[in-house]
């Protein structure tokens, strides 16, 4: 389809005056801004760690492994998260599950938090909502080994964060992704409402 002339907005390069070509007015404006900040006592930075930032509810922080209703790890060692991980920072050793309701469980589950890019692909790929990213971000370690979060440490993060307002178990999808909506657990016998369907325009060829 040909583009009409009226649909084109032509932009011409502005002509600079003599003083503008010397950049002196721009330098003076910049110095004015700098001097204004010197005498302005308003706080523009957060005093971390004394003041904790107010993070959004879908912030992607440190991982956790969720527990089921019986306190067992939800993971079934399907390797979906490790396969989807673009940073290849998830390591799983599967073993035969000691429970009758599943075939496998992770005998070893380790995430290298230094290699992780916190993209959330693992929680999107997980078919049983076993792994999630929490609002916890303030982590540190004196050695690289301390930043290797094993199964016990990931389960302990679940115990610490599951009761926080921003970190309930997120099992319902939303506009921002499969685990982006925080909802209250549905009462027994109730069916959750259908998820919103996001459709592309007919002429969208971005896929």
For residue range 127-155, what is the model confidence (pLDDT) as tens digits?
A: 888 999 998 988 888 999 999 999 999 99
Give the range with max mean pLDDT: 49-58, 66-75, 193-202: 66-75
Q: So what's the pLDDT on residue 180?
A: 53
Query: Per the domain annotation, does 107 fall within a domain?
Result: yes
The residue segments making up the domain with residue 159 are 63-181
State how many domains the chain has: 1
Query: Per the domain annotation, does 157 fall within a domain?
Result: yes
Tokens of 175: 């506009």
Sheet of 90-96, strand order: 90-96, 104-112, 148-149
Query: Per the domain annotation, does 9 fall within a domain?
Result: no
Query: Per the domain annotation, does 187 fall within a domain?
Result: no
Q: So what's the pLDDT on residue 148?
A: 95
Q: So what's the pLDDT on residue 116?
A: 95
Give the range with max mean pLDDT: 32-46, 73-87, 190-204: 73-87
Query: Per the domain annotation, does 52 fall within a domain?
Result: no
Query: Per the domain annotation, does 45 fall within a domain?
Result: no
DSSP the chain: -PPPGGG-----PPPP-HHHHTTHHHHHHHHHHHHHHHS-----S--TTTS-----TT---SEEEPB-TTS-B------HHHHH-TT--EEEEEEE-SSTT-SEEEEEEEEETTT-----HHHHH-TTS-EEE-S------SSTGGGEE-HHHHHHHHHHHTTSTT-S---EEETTEEEEE--PPPPTT--PPPPPP----TT----
User: pLDDT tens digit string along 8-48?
Assistant: 888 888 888 898 889 999 999 999 999 988 888 776 777 88
Q: So what's the pLDDT on residue 206?
A: 42
Query: Per the domain annotation, does 176 fall within a domain?
Result: yes
CATH code (residue 110)? 3.30.70.3270
């Amino acid at each position: 389809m040909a583009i009409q002339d009226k649909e084109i907005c032509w932009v011409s390069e502005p002509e600079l005056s003599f003083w503008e070509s010397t950049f002196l007015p721009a330098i003076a404006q910049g110095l004015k801004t700098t001097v204004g900040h010197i005498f302005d006592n308003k706080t523009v930075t957060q005093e971390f760690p004394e003041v904790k930032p107010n993070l959004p509810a879908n912030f992607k922080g440190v991982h956790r492994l969720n527990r089921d209703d019986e306190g067992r790890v939800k993971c079934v060692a399907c390797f979906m998260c490790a396969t989807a991980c673009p940073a290849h920072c998830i390591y799983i050793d599967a073993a035969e599950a000691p429970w009758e309701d599943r075939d496998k469980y992770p005998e070893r589950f380790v995430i290298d938090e230094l290699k992780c890019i916190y993209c959330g692909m693992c929680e999107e790929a997980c078919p049983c909502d076993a792994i999630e990213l929490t609002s916890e971000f303030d982590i540190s370690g004196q050695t690289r080994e301390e930043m290797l979060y094993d199964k016990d440490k990931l389960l302990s993060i679940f115990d610490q964060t599951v009761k926080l307002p921003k970190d309930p178990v997120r099992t319902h999808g939303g506009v921002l992704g499969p685990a982006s909506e925080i909802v209250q657990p549905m009462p027994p016998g109730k069916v959750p409402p259908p998820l919103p369907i996001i459709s592309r325009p007919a002429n969208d060829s971005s896929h």
